[in-house]
Amino acid sequence: MDEQPSVSAVIEQIAPRLRRAREKKGISLADLARATGISTSTLSRLESAQRKPSLELLLPITAALGIPLDEIVAVPRILDPRVPQQPTRKDGRVLIPLSRHQGEPRAYKMTIPAHDEQPHLRTHAGYEWLYVLRGRLRVKLGDHDFIMGAGEAAEFDCRIPHWFGAAGRGGVEVLSLFGKQGERIHLRTSRH
């Protein structure tokens, strides 16, 4: 259910939006006054919410700043923030996206069943952060081979040959963040 803010709440946001837009463009109040024909004191009062905004004032200001009017007066829509659960399965693993957008970083909850499989190390661009929710996770990272338990985290550069899977007879649940940005390897484990 979309719930729209009141008109007064939208009007309250105009003053700070005007100031941010002007400052972002690097334009002084005096320069904006010259470009719009609106006095510096009126512009200052608009930006400090001491004067009510009107279309007569806002149209020349947004034109001078080169921004659309709706950037200043848009009513933000309040959407359902829940991420749709659309799990995918591959090689017995269940991958549930935890982020709505396809940008980065991407977040997933992963369920990995117990297997008697040989690790197949792979490399690719990016960085990964793992957090074990439940079970035990075996991680091979370059020459390192270690087990992580619930509550442990690791992050690594994916250009290092790596593989991870369930350790032992039970499955494992993991939170994973993946993106092209990140830090170089930082591992913190209490078990070896």
Domain ranges of the chain: 7-73, 88-188
Write down the CATH number for the domain with range 88-188: 2.60.120.10
Flag whether pLDDT at 189 surpasses 50.
no
Please state the rounded mean pLDDT for residues 72-99: 83
pTM score, two decimals?
A: 0.56
Q: Does domain 7-73 have CATH number 1.10.260.40?
A: yes
Whether residue 162 has pLDDT greater than 50: yes
Q: Do domains 7-73 and 88-188 have the same CATH topology?
A: no
Percent of the chain whose pLDDT exceeds 70 = 88
pLDDT tens for each residue of 96-119: 988 876 667 888 999 999 876 778
| C-beta of residue 126 within 8 angstroms of C-beta of residue 180 | yes
Is the model's pLDDT at 58 over the cut of 50?
Answer: yes
